[in-house]
Structure 1
């Protein structure tokens, strides 16, 4: 019983802190893989951040990944909550999370000026790319192409 309470406490704390459920092994794998692929292929185009806390004009959010224009690092100054709007965000559905939870975040992202929002559904090896709340494309095989960000990814590499 103690282990269950500890697990529940950890999940509740994570949910309160980040506004989303605790990620799973597959969630973590995809977050790492997407971060690697973005850095490998688009390092000169985007700075890729994982689990960065944002304080946007439309609310607080902590996307799984977010993409910004590259800028020099300042290791003497740091930010706990970044107020700049990313160009793109990537959200990965956790096992205990509904896709509706992530669709609801689209207003926060697009209202703040985010150009592209991806919702990744690991169970179905699916990525939905939104450029507005009701404007999206679904990718399950072949090459994903985000025309707003100019990003191309082979889905076999993402979901291997």
Structure 2
């Protein structure tokens, strides 16, 4: 039995959110793979409950094939959450504080229906990017083309 109810009720992914997740991962890997390690759906030891963002980015490091914990105790630099049709914007924003309290430096919320990404550098401050703009995460010095994310 799982000890984290939030993981058990995590929204199901759709074709749209799955495609965006892969596109984001591919675009990030093509731009930043020499500096960062991109991982999908890793569980983080956030408080009060564990959380599992859609994507997380850590400093580049070799994979450890002998030690692969079921949850990470160290904060990633960036987490990315993709909003599902069943989630409100309020629910998405409520996820931010535990991430920043855990030590995450930047959080992105992807809103597929708007073809937009909100880039947060704190729980209360964000920049809005949509459609064919170049997203610029000033905290981590990452730039990606949203046209490629939402194609």
TM-score between both structures, scaled by the size of structure 2:
0.91
How far off its partner does 1:47 sit?
0.4
| Contact 1:88/1:116 (8 A) holds in 2 | yes
Match of 2:90 among 100, 119, 123: 100
Runs (5+) with no aligned partner, structure 2 = none
Per the alignment, in what secondary structure is the counterpart of residue 147 of structure 2?
helix
Could you report, residue by residue, the CA deviation over 1:76-133 in whole angstroms, capped at 9, with x for unpaired residues?
2211011110000000001111121111011101111111000000011010000011
Match of 2:125 among 126, 135, 157: 135
Per the alignment, in what secondary structure is the counterpart of residue 110 of structure 1?
helix
Give the structure 2 partner of residue 147 of structure 1.
138
Distance 1:47 1:19 in 2: 27
Runs (5+) with no aligned partner, structure 1 = 1-14
Give the structure 2 partner of residue 74 of structure 1.
64
How far off its partner does 1:45 sit?
1.1
User: Alignment length, in residue pairs?
Assistant: 146
Give the structure 2 partner of residue 125 of structure 1.
115
Per the alignment, in what secondary structure is the counterpart of residue 60 of structure 1?
coil
How far off its partner does 1:38 sit?
1.1
Give the structure 1 partner of residue 105 of structure 2.
115
Between Structure 1 and Structure 2, which shows a larger proportion of helix residues?
1
How far off its partner does 1:65 sit?
0.3
Q: Identify if the C-alpha distance between structure 1 residues 35 and 112 changes in structure 2 by more than 3 Å, giving closer, same or farther.
A: same
Q: Identify if the C-alpha distance between structure 1 residues 46 and 58 changes in structure 2 by more than 3 Å, giving closer, same or farther.
A: farther
Could you report, residue by residue, the CA deviation over 1:37-67 in whole angstroms, capped at 9, with x for unpaired residues?
1111111111001011111355411000000
| Contact 1:52/1:81 (8 A) holds in 2 | yes
Per the alignment, in what secondary structure is the counterpart of residue 56 of structure 1?
coil
| Contact 2:6/2:49 (8 A) holds in 1 | no
